[in-house]
Structure 1
């Protein structure tokens, strides 16, 4: 009885100790995670980041993604007035044309809506602001001779001797010695389909469709395809270059990695020195990120899509070499022995006894990495100067056409979704023989 009681006490004591350890681990792990998050909070200066954040700039950036600016610009030296979309030369209205809210003449009147009226006269420019009054300025060589309504200047007016900037809910009015400019925002992507010089600009969908039925379909497509503002032709080619970089890099790496994988597999390379050398080479190739290889190869081969494809190829050769060698080490010996019993050569044993077993793994990994590398090719293209990544970088650097940045990002997302969908179909067809998705 005493022995049984002692054993029971020992078991109870052991259970209590085990429970205490698990309880300690259950509390300590969350505490460690919380302590690490607190460290990150201060190490990355999150409070400072929040204090430096400018919500006005954030709102402007968001607004620019789905809107565009119309620029009405006066050359203060010649008094000439230009009207353009985003200030672009290929988006400039002809001298005898203008939007309905701008009236050209000896005195150009710009109706910004809500009672805001800007006027470009021969010598003086004015801006009438409801609830505030009329601002007048006479720009010249000595600077901007400005006259404001009585009272202190509000915070939305920034004035100096050589520059005055007025920002209201209706738009922005800027005067310098050499130029007077009015910005007005509109929602949408202006001239996305046709440029101002196209005969189809400003037509409704029904009118364009009617002209297409009347035999102008080819001209309509050409006008859209050669749009000099949105560059649809260049964008389509850039998307093709991005997919091409990913395709060449991925499948080129697969073709190189497969034969090398045999030299890294235990059951196909009996010499340990050979296996060790191949595995370390794979570690080296995949250990260096594709972006680093991109910079290195760009110095060697110059910028271009081929450099991006080579960067993907080098990195994925190391990754595929590891994956393929592990797949080869797990093959079943029975099919190989069956092929060997027929008197087949070594190459035939590999072809009919080994390859069919690893094909599902090879195809699955190749297609998965093709989808992943399509995204990577966007960033790589920004460095090597090719693909949609280059156009995206150019649009971001200009800090003007943020609606184009949105357009390119939407296209990139659609491209990745399409590659995911296509690779899924190919995996089902090539691996399971089912292309229906069920």
Structure 2
């Protein structure tokens, strides 16, 4: 190993000053870039008030929404009349059906005498005497007597609910009697005295109960078990169950509530439930037209989204292909044609697909035509730009070789240009087709049709989150399948291994 002396080092430094005397940027560019990134992150933290947002965010709501995706609720509601009579009801479309009698709701009934006012026939009513303009009866047109109506009452013995106890789990229950609500949760007890619309809380509210103002509605949070509300004479409880209720058969189906073995037995060897069709046909029909999950409608909307993405991408590719030859400077030797075509591409792709969807929804009305048009316009601009840039970067030697043998201009493009760019064109078109399958879902939410519109409708109710999860899962499956198909086709076209 040779050691360099000081004179030799000075000589090398004189010949190559850039190696030994680096500029400020060369020496400090890494810490400068890192410092700039930190300053930018701090600025974003301050400008968007990220700390305040994180501090004031209600994280429990996020957990509740997540639980709603994989569960369903049964919602018993207790109403108390002014005379103390109680009534327990369920929503019209309860997962338990019209005659719900769950074993976790304990009801005590009794009879009570109830007096109900009944409007009787009107008694003798005298019409106001007619008077002249200056008559001596007082004011002009004043009645001489008012009509009266006889009010009668009816008294009857009626069976009513005297006590209702709703048990959510071993640690949580809500007990209701006409003048009091007793809530037990995690070893704590909340007692609310009722006097009509007036509510009085015994003691302090536990951490799982909230009341914005004295006498106002009390909201109860029981974690995954459910939640409830107490509002005067109306007590509602929501008990949550893991899973998706009535996913195959709704409450109107004759197969509802039956086990899997019972359903298969009915389909295979049971007597016909409907004389007009077999049990297999009836079961399949009940699944397709399930009123709660609407499987057929969801699948049709999903297929509509797939077709919308495919047709929009296909038309964009077919139009962008010839326009790209006009935009490529080495193919079309006209600056005017190049600039006009490129500015057209810029215009089409500068407007976001969602904005085009809003525009075409107003023009054509809600439906897949608006979605296809939005995809077509946006992708024509993007694919046209990509295609023209690919054409401008081809190897001219292959084209010149075809031209040297006296080939016609069309043949020059066919044999000298297309073999170089067609695999890239097809690969980019496949990628956009895959991407537009996702984009079609988003633009569907603004009225462009497909499953996106149905997904938005389910989210707007703020209650059917299990339906939202179902549709999101279907979209994910479709995206995964299309991603695999697209990757395989692109790999074959480009000659590389599949990913």
Q: CA deviation at 1:230?
A: 1.5
TM-score (norm 2): 0.75
Q: Aligned pair 1:42/2:46, yes or no? A: yes
Q: Which residue in the other structure is 2:229 paired with?
A: 174
Write the mapping of 1:292-331 to structure 2, written as runs, cut at 5 A: 292-329=355-392, 330=394
Write the mapping of 1:220-299 to structure 2, written as runs, cut at 5 A: 220-299=283-362
Question: Distance in 1 between the 2:365 and 2:9 partners?
Answer: 82
Q: CA deviation at 1:53?
A: 1.3
Q: Which among 72, 91, 95 is matched to residue 68 of structure 1?
A: 72
Write the mapping of 1:88-127 to structure 2, written as runs, cut at 5 A: 89-91=92-94, 93-103=96-106, 106=109, 107=161, 108-114=164-170, 116-119=172-175, 123-124=178-179, 126-127=181-182
Q: Where do 5+ consecutive residues of structure 2 fail to align? A: 110-160, 270-277
8 A contact 2:229–2:237 mirrored in 1:
yes
8 A contact 1:91–1:195 mirrored in 2:
no
8 A contact 1:82–1:92 mirrored in 2:
no
Q: CA deviation at 1:416?
A: 0.9
Question: Distance in 1 between the 2:31 and 2:210 partners?
Answer: 57
8 A contact 2:199–2:215 mirrored in 1:
yes
8 A contact 1:174–1:182 mirrored in 2:
yes
Question: Distance in 1 between the 2:226 and 2:440 partners?
Answer: 39
8 A contact 1:119–1:127 mirrored in 2:
yes
Structure 1 residues 111 and 4: alpha-carbon distance in aligned structure 2, compared to 1, 3 A threshold: closer
8 A contact 2:332–2:338 mirrored in 1:
yes
Q: Which residue in the other structure is 1:422 paired with?
A: 485
Structure 1 residues 355 and 213: alpha-carbon distance in aligned structure 2, compared to 1, 3 A threshold: farther
Question: Distance in 2 between the 1:222 and 1:324 partners?
Answer: 48
Question: Distance in 2 between the 1:118 and 1:5 partners?
Answer: 89
Q: CA deviation at 1:137?
A: 5.0
SS at match of 1:372: helix
8 A contact 1:340–1:349 mirrored in 2:
no
RMSD across aligned positions (CA): 3.3
Question: Distance in 2 between the 1:295 and 1:264 partners?
Answer: 29
Deviates more, 1:190-199 or 1:127-136: 127-136
8 A contact 2:455–2:468 mirrored in 1:
yes
Question: Distance in 2 between the 1:194 and 1:340 partners?
Answer: 72
Q: CA deviation at 1:428?
A: 4.4
Structure 1 residues 437 and 162: alpha-carbon distance in aligned structure 2, compared to 1, 3 A threshold: closer
Q: Which residue in the other structure is 1:366 paired with?
A: 429
Q: Which among 83, 88, 97 is matched to residue 90 of structure 2?
A: 83
Question: Distance in 2 between the 1:21 and 1:197 partners?
Answer: 75
Structure 1 residues 5 and 437: alpha-carbon distance in aligned structure 2, compared to 1, 3 A threshold: closer
Q: Aligned pair 1:156/2:159, yes or no? A: no
Q: Aligned pair 1:211/2:263, yes or no? A: no
Q: Which residue in the other structure is 1:52 paired with?
A: 56
Deviates more, 1:257-266 or 1:353-362: 353-362
Structure 1 residues 75 and 29: alpha-carbon distance in aligned structure 2, compared to 1, 3 A threshold: same
SS at match of 2:330: coil
Question: Distance in 1 between the 2:440 and 2:41 partners?
Answer: 33
8 A contact 1:336–1:350 mirrored in 2:
no
Question: Distance in 1 between the 2:210 and 2:25 partners?
Answer: 66
Question: Distance in 1 between the 2:74 and 2:319 partners?
Answer: 54
TM-score (norm 1): 0.85
Q: CA deviation at 1:161?
A: 3.6
Superposed CA deviations along residues 78-134 of structure 1, whole A, max 9, x for unmatched, are 8543234xxxx333645543222234563344333326444556x556435265557
Superposed CA deviations along residues 389-435 of structure 1, whole A, max 9, x for unmatched, are 22222222222222223222222221211111122233345665x9x
Structure 1 residues 194 and 336: alpha-carbon distance in aligned structure 2, compared to 1, 3 A threshold: farther
8 A contact 2:345–2:381 mirrored in 1:
yes
Structure 1 residues 11 and 337: alpha-carbon distance in aligned structure 2, compared to 1, 3 A threshold: closer
Q: Aligned pair 1:408/2:462, yes or no? A: no
Higher helix share: 1
Deviates more, 1:372-381 or 1:95-104: 95-104
8 A contact 2:369–2:448 mirrored in 1:
no
Question: Distance in 1 between the 2:349 and 2:415 partners?
Answer: 30
8 A contact 1:83–1:92 mirrored in 2:
no
Deviates more, 1:125-134 or 1:69-78: 125-134
Question: Distance in 1 between the 2:304 and 2:296 partners?
Answer: 12
Question: Distance in 2 between the 1:136 and 1:317 partners?
Answer: 65
For these two proteins, the number of residue pairs brought into alignment is 426
Q: CA deviation at 1:11?
A: 4.5
8 A contact 1:118–1:125 mirrored in 2:
no
8 A contact 2:69–2:465 mirrored in 1:
yes
Deviates more, 1:38-47 or 1:19-28: 19-28
Question: Distance in 2 between the 1:54 and 1:2 partners?
Answer: 69
Q: CA deviation at 1:333?
A: 5.7
Q: Which residue in the other structure is 1:186 paired with?
A: 241
Q: Where do 5+ consecutive residues of structure 1 fail to align? A: none
Question: Distance in 2 between the 1:195 and 1:220 partners?
Answer: 11
Q: Which among 10, 17, 21 is matched to residue 14 of structure 2?
A: 10
Structure 1 residues 219 and 351: alpha-carbon distance in aligned structure 2, compared to 1, 3 A threshold: farther
Q: CA deviation at 1:268?
A: 2.8
